[in-house]
Amino acid sequence: MSAKKKRNKEEKSEVEEIPVDDILAVISGETLAEEKVRRIEEILKDLTKVNKQIKGAMLATMEGFPVATHPKKVFREDARISAAIAAIFATSERNALDLVNENIQYVAIKTSNRYILIRLAGEDYILAVITSEDAKLGIILRDLKEAGDKIRKII
């Protein structure tokens, strides 16, 4: 084979394939990540609709970065809150492992007027909700698990 043909063949094999997600992003004007966040926001919105005792819901990364919240007004400082949620969850997990050598299912915090419930939604994400004081914790935990399962499928 001549050097020119060999070079042309190598150049053709080096042509970079464009991922389908990039093509869709150009066509639709949004990225796959934006679509996932929108779907997660819908799950959080549904969670607050289905259970009126849930006043707000947030998904954060284990590193403490906010992913999605609903409604936005409940989590005005979402970056600070998501960092606190991640720290609370990580500390609770570490303590459970040290004390009883088991992973935690959820963390519940009772304040004077409400509950804050935190649980995993996938390996790297934390789902947190703020509820009213009269919340039925068993029902809230069930709804959290279902929402977490839906989120896990998206992520």
pLDDT of 106 strictly over 60: yes
Structure tokens that stand for 90 in this block: 């990580």
Q: What is the pLDDT of residue 11?
A: 55
Question: Is residue 99 predicted with pLDDT exceeding 80?
Answer: yes
Classify residue 30 by its DSSP letter. S
Answer whether residue 25 shows pLDDT above 70.
no
Distance of CA 52 to the CA centre of its chain: 21
Domain count along the chain: 1
The percent of residues in the chain predicted with pLDDT above 90, rounded, is: 66
pLDDT in tens, 40-63: 999 999 999 999 999 999 999 999
Is the pLDDT reported for residue 127 higher than 60? yes
Return the CATH number at 85: 3.30.450.30
Contacts of 13 (CB under 8 A, 6+ apart): none
71-96 residue pLDDT tens: 988 877 888 999 999 999 999 999 99
- 70, pLDDT greater than 60: yes
**pLDDT top residue among 60 and 14:** 60
Supply the DSSP string of 61-84, one letter for each residue: ETTS-EEEEESGGGGTTHHHHHHH
Bridge partners of residue 130, in order along the sequence: 56, 116
- Whether this model's pTM surpasses 0.85: no
Segments forming the whole domain that contains residue 148 = 3-154
